[in-house]
Amino acid sequence: MSAHVFCRRATSRLTLITAVACAVAFPTTAAAQQKPPAAVRPVPAPRAQTSIRGFGDISVTRFAAADTFEATLGSSTGVFFGGGVEVVLPQRFFFNVRLSRFQKTGERVFVDGDDVFPLGIDLKVGITPVEVTGGYRFQPRGRTRNVIPFVGGGIGWHKYSETSDFAQAGDNVEETFTGYHALGGVEFRMSRWFGVSGEAQWTTIGDALGSEVSSASEVSGESNLGGLGLRVRFVIGR
């Protein structure tokens, strides 16, 4: 018996405490309840907390060395596939680490002025950037609370490989260059656990190309391995 009674009493106390707390914490809400008809009841903003998210992405980059890539690979743009992990802090700062990969086979050429002569010798190029980015996600406002702009910047280590047929010792390239990047974009929260972002990233990797006399980049006077990329990123996590 006593247990039952005790229980009822305890519930009554909890209800009372909660009501008081609500009245203190949300006085306007409490007041509004007295004014019919009520407007759409806002959802309380979730409590900010650190979140860890994973993402995969695809980006199209227009290389800074556009003439060089156009001549050898047939296009001045390249498609990178990547992915990584991102940490978003309560203060809206974020950090992420991203690994991506670009690979394409073209052919060696000779460039004379505006003329490009493909030589039929396979040229296989790979770029594997590992990038660390830090940035800030802006506070969503009003009805666009599911649209989150962000900006950031960081450093990257770009492993560049270039192999070709008939290469002898020292002809192929496998080198890692340090680059820097800045980016900005918008993330669309599709659900609590899934978002899609569109972003643009400018990357500079200076003095990576253009130093060898046997390079099209030297002919074109292009030394930067970076470029401007447009990326779609699929985010899993809050």
Partner 1 sequence: MSIRRRARAHSAALIAVALWFATVAAQDVLPQAERRSASPLATRAIDGGLRSGASPMRAVHKATDLHTRRMPANARYLRGSVIVKFRDGTSAARRADLVSLVAGRSMPSLPYAAFDLVALDPADDPEAVASRLAAQPDVAYAQARYRARPLYRPNDPLYGLQWNFASLEMERAWDINPGSSPSVTVAVVDSGVAYVNTSLRFVQFNARSIEGSVFPALGTVDIPFAAAPDLGAADRFVSPYDFIWDDPQPLDMHGHGTHVAGTIGQATNNSLGVAGIAFNVKLMPIKVIDGFWDEYFESPFFGTDDTVARGVRYAADNGAKVINLSIGREGPPAPVVRSALEYAVSRGAFIAVAGGNEFLDGNPTPRFAEFAQQISGMVSVGAVGPDRQRAAYSNTGPYLELVAPGGDFTRNGVSGLILQQTYDFDFTDTFLNGTGGFRPPRFDVFAYLYAEGTSMATAHVSGLAALLYQQGITKPSAIEAVMKRSATDLGPEGRDDQYGHGLINARAALRGLGIAR
Neighbours of 135 (CB within 10 A): 20
Q: Which of 88, 123, 205, 235 binds partner 1 (CB under 8 A)?
A: 123
Closest C-alpha among 86, 100, 161, 104 to residue 129? 100
The 147-166 contact track toward partner 1, x by CB under 8 A, reads -------------x-x-xxx
Q: How far is the CB of 197 from partner 1 (least distance, A)?
A: 28
Taking the least distance from each CB to partner 1, the nearer of 29 and 161 is 161
Residues from 8 through 67 that contact partner 1 (CB under 8 A): 65
How many CB atoms neighbour CB 22 within 10 A?
13
Q: Which is nearer to partner 1, 101 or 189 (CB)?
A: 101
Collect all residues with Cβ–Cβ distance below 8 Å to 113 and sequence separation of at least 6. Answer: none
| Phi, psi angle pair for 202, to nearest 5° | -105, 125
In whole angstroms, what is the distance from residue 123 CA to residue 172 CA?
Answer: 10
Q: Contact with partner 1 (CB under 8 A): which of 57, 61, 64, 68?
A: 68
Site for partner 1 in 171-210 (CB under 8 A): 171-173, 175, 208-210
Contact predicate 22/203, CB 8 Å: no
Query: Residue 111 Cβ, how far from partner 1 at the closest point, in Å?
Result: 6
Q: How far apart are CA 94 and CA 77, in angstroms?
A: 28
What's the min distance (Å) between Cβ of 126 and partner 1? 11
Give per-residue burial for 48-72: e unless 16+ CB within 10 Å, then b.
Answer: eeeeebebebebebebbbebbbbbb
**Residue 232 CB, nearest approach to partner 1 (Å):** 24
In whole angstroms, the minimum distance from the beta carbon of 234 to partner 1 comes to 23
Return residues touching partner 1 (CB under 8 A): 65, 68-69, 72-73, 107-112, 115, 117-123, 125, 160, 162, 164-166, 168, 171-173, 175, 208-219
